[in-house]
Amino acid sequence: MQRKLPQSNLYLREEELRRGIELLYFAYRDFTRDPDEILADSGFGRAHHRVLYFVKRNPGTTVSGLLSLLRITKQSLSRVLGQLVDDGYIEQKPGTEDRRQRLLYLTDKGEKFEADLFATQRQRVAQAYKMAGPEAVSGFWEVLLNIVDDSEREIVMRQLEK
């Protein structure tokens, strides 16, 4: 018998998939809202935030390091990075081993600004973690990691373990 089971399963599955898709949209939209507001006051945008964030997390990283992490073009990165350097948020030091490289570090000003931006997301995510509980948080991480491209998962995991 069971004529209707496959149909029913498919329907449930679709609902579950749409739920994930929608939550991802809404959560990401709100997740970026607080820092976006702070950034706008300083004449920066979301891209600046990402650069500050990943330089903070990977002090001494190079331009190509950022490029392969962010997966944007060097022209896009260059514009944003240049502004951050010009405005004194990021410092470039020539590589010791390979002098073509520019090692990137946050200045004190950059550290403070990043901390302000981080505080807003910290608050939001900490609250969500608290409401959902530790088991839910594990599941959250696991599903997200599996949504990442197969081809990117290695590099993402390396980043997470820093």
For binding to DNA (CB under 7 A), which residues are involved?
Answer: 39, 43-50, 62-65, 67, 71-76, 78-82, 92, 95, 97-102
The residues, any chain, with a CB within 8 Å of residue 140's CB and separated by 6 or more, are 132
Q: Contact with a second copy (CB under 8 A): which of 38, 45, 50, 92?
A: 50
User: In this structure, what token pair is assigned to residue 97?
Assistant: 């081993």
Does residue 7 touch a second copy according to CB under 8 A?
no
Amino acid identity, position 6: P
Quick one: DSSP state of residue 140? H
Handedness of CA 131, 57, 28, 14 (dihedral sign): negative
Does residue 116 touch a second copy according to CB under 8 A?
no
Closer residue to a second copy, CB minimum distance, 2 or 146: 146
> Would you say 44 and 88 are in contact if contact means Cβ atoms under 8 Å apart?
no
Residues making contact with a second copy (CB under 8 A): 13-14, 16-31, 33, 50, 53, 57, 71, 121-122, 124-129, 131-133, 135-149, 152, 156, 159-160
